[in-house]
């Protein structure tokens, strides 16, 4: 039994048992598979049904800068050395980015063995296009990555119709995994064994009510979020959430390498007061603002981000002193009507934050009055 390990990389080092036709796949196996789509396959010449060991050798020649995240370089190295993963095969890598269509999509197929395959969907990259597509979820019924994910699932099923399928991804990759699964035909849904969403958004409430396919596959969808998750708690999660422990703070908990493990599973946790307040505020804000207001707000803010050459919102947090004054200047030059809507949305968000804080405090007061022993 695997004990006293810290994160997914430690799991890869310790668990060397090969996955056979009957071997149970752990949630950490699924996490590793979901992360594989983040690897720079577009930087190497990928052969058809190439082993992970072979892919690892090719990627070992790439510079560190080729990897979107430092730990991803260690991930593929360990996968290539692992008896559990090295002989698995990779195929059907796709990568489609289109700035004009505001689309950023990538996926890869991992063949666990002759009878099982995992569709790994890539999350959001560091581009402004990728982040913009994510934010478009707030006002569009569908985004290009969702449609591509569904088409990718259909393609995999046509080519490997005998295989049992697993779907998963991190961030937007987890979200499009859910979208593809619930919109798949009954025949394809019967082949889907499980869907793993690692800190990815759910389905917008008004759309969730229309997605009848979700009822058929709901018990096979598994969503994991860290204790202060923001992205993963957006929108509706009818499947429920499993809260796991991250050693990072705030939005940096989105990093799966900060998620702690124990044995073959992620360490369970509880949501924090801070996380509850932020998520209640954001979801309330999205319900009170109209779709058109949200569209104008998001498009307007990203136009400003683009004009000041900001790559993504995370960069803004790191370099606020540099970008803050530039953004304010651009905002002041925004057309009057658009500026009015953006200001109104910020006001509503601020009110939601205050209201959420008050509601949280009221809940704590009621809880203490009900359950705290008298005289203490």
pLDDT at 1: 40
pLDDT greater at residue 232 or residue 33: 33
Q: Residue 5 has what pLDDT?
A: 47
Shared domain for 51 and 89, answered yes or no, is yes
Confidence category of residue 371, pLDDT binned at 50, 70, 90: very low
Residue 49's pLDDT band, with cuts at 50, 70 and 90, is very high
Q: Domain containing 351: what range? A: 277-368
More confident residue, 315 or 254: 254
Q: Are residues 237 and 326 in the same domain?
A: no
The domain total for the chain is: 2
Cβ contact 29:266 at 8 Å: no
117 lies in the same domain as 251: yes
Judge whether 375 lies within some domain. no
The reply to whether 177 and 92 lie within a common domain is yes
Written as one string, the DSSP assignment of 1-63 is ---S--SHHHHHHH------SSPPPPHHHHHHHHHHTTS-GGGS-PPTTEEHHHHHHHHTTS-
Domain boundary among 220, 254, 271: 271
For the stretch 91-117, pLDDT in tens is 999 999 877 777 789 999 999 999 999
Mean pLDDT of all residues in 36-42: 96
Is residue 291 domain-shared with residue 185, that is, in the same domain? no
Residues 335 and 232 in one domain: no
Same domain, 119 and 255: yes
No. of helices (H) and no. of strands (E), the chain: 15, 10
What would the pLDDT profile of 201-220 be if each residue is shown by its tens digit?
A: 888 776 766 665 556 888 99
Mark whether 231 and 106 lie in a shared domain: yes
d(CA 261, CA 244): 9
pLDDT at res. 175: 93
Per-residue pLDDT tens for 223-237?
999 999 888 888 888
pLDDT of residue 319: 76
Same domain, 216 and 354: no
Residues 213 and 237 in one domain: yes
* Of the residues 234, 256, 271, the one at which a domain ends: 271
| CATH number of 145's domain | 3.40.50
Among residues 206, 238, 271, the one where a domain terminates is 271
Q: Please tell me whether residues 97 and 225 are part of one structural domain.
A: yes
Highest mean pLDDT among 33-42, 306-315, 363-372: 33-42
């Amino acid at each position: 039994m695997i004990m006293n390990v810290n994160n997914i990389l430690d799991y890869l080092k310790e668990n060397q048992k090969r996955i056979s036709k009957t071997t149970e796949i752990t949630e950490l196996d699924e996490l590793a598979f979901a992360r594989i789509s983040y690897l720079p396959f577009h930087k190497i010449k990928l052969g058809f049904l190439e082993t992970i060991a072979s892919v690892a050798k090719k990627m070992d020649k790439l510079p560190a800068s080729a990897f979107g995240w430092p730990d991803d370089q260690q991930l593929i190295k360990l996968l290539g050395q692992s008896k559990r993963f090295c002989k698995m095969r990779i195929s059907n890598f796709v990568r489609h980015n289109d700035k004009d269509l505001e689309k950023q999509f990538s996926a890869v197929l991992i063949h666990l063995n002759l009878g099982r395959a995992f569709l790994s969907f890539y999350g959001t990259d560091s581009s402004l296009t990728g982040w913009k597509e994510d934010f478009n979820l707030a006002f569009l019924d569908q985004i290009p990555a969702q449609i591509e994910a569904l088409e990718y699932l259909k393609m995999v099923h046509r080519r490997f119709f005998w295989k049992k399928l697993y779907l998963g991804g991190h961030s937007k990759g987890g979200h499009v995994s859910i979208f593809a699964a619930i919109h798949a035909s009954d025949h394809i849904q019967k082949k889907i064994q499980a869907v793993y969403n690692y800190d990815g958004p759910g389905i917008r409430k008004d759309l969730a009510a229309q997605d009848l396919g979700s009822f058929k596959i709901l018990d096979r969808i598994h969503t994991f979020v860290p204790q202060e998750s923001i992205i993963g708690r957006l929108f509706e999660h009818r499947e429920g959430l499993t809260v796991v422990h991250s050693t990072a703070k705030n939005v940096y908990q989105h990093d799966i390498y900060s998620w702690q493990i124990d044995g073959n599973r992620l360490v369970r946790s509880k949501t924090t007061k801070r996380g509850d307040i932020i998520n209640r505020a954001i979801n309330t804000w999205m319900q009170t603002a109209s779709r058109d207001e949200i569209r104008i707000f998001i498009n307007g803010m990203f136009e400003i981000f683009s004009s000041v050459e900001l790559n993504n919102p995370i960069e803004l947090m790191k370099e606020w002193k540099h970008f803050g004054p530039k953004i304010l200047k651009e905002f002041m030059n925004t057309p009057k009507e658009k500026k009015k809507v953006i200001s109104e949305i910020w006001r509503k968000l601020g009110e939601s934050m205050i209201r959420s804080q008050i509601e949280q405090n009221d809940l704590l007061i009621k809880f203490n009055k009900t359950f705290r022993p008298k005289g203490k």
